[in-house]
Amino acid sequence: MMQISSDSVGNKHSLINVMHRFIAAANNMDETIMVPSLLRDMPLDEQQANNNNEPPCSNKQRDMYEHYLLLKSIKNDMEWGLLKREVSSGASFLEMAVKQEEQQAVKGDIHVDDNADLQHQFHYHLRGLFGVLSKLTMQADHLTNRYKREIGGGNFMR
């Protein structure tokens, strides 16, 4: 098993730390939300909940329940890796991206220039991963706190 140095875990800007924060926020969300079905039909946006005339965005999750399921799914993908979902519910987004890259490699579509600047590609994707994980962590915390307010347990906010 790979050992993680204490220096990288202690650095608040490390990828490992950002991943741990998201997983902790998602676990807290999961432990707090005892009855996820109560999230059904609750608009994701509090502003939208106050303004019923506004149509929901079609490209986003329609309610808090769908968002809860999305966050749990992402957390599970991070903890367990790319599971073979093809048998049950289809491939995840991450699995589809990996398959697409594998198909390009087999076809020979990857150019020599693409592999020449791997450090640039790595840093580009690392910045994106940091941004996405930070947003997901905030969303999990927001969903948890909103659930507490809606259910009446708002005195115990994190």
Domain that holds residue 113: 6-156
Per residue in 104-125, pLDDT (tens digit) is 666 655 555 566 689 999 999 9
Query: What pLDDT does 5 receive?
Result: 55
- The pLDDT of residue 72 is 95
Total tally of structural domains belonging to the chain: 1
Whether residue 26 is contained in a domain is answered as yes
* Angle (nearest 5°) at CA 39 between 133 and 157: 60
Where does the pLDDT of residue 58 fall: very low under 50, low under 70, confident under 90, or very high at 90 and above?
very low
Residue 35 is assigned to a structural domain of this protein? yes
pLDDT, residue 9, reads 52
* Pair of tokens at residue 114: 């693409």
At 11, the pLDDT band (50, 70, 90 cuts) reads confident
Contact 23, 17 (CB under 8 A): no
Instruction: Convert 91-131 into a string of H (helix), E (strand) and C (coil).
Output: CCHHHHHHHHHHHHHHHCCCCHHHHHCHHHHHHHHHHHHHH
**Residue 1 counted as domain residue:** no
Over residues 64-81, the pLDDT tens digits come to 999 999 999 999 999 888
Among 46-50, 63-67, 93-97, top mean pLDDT goes to 63-67
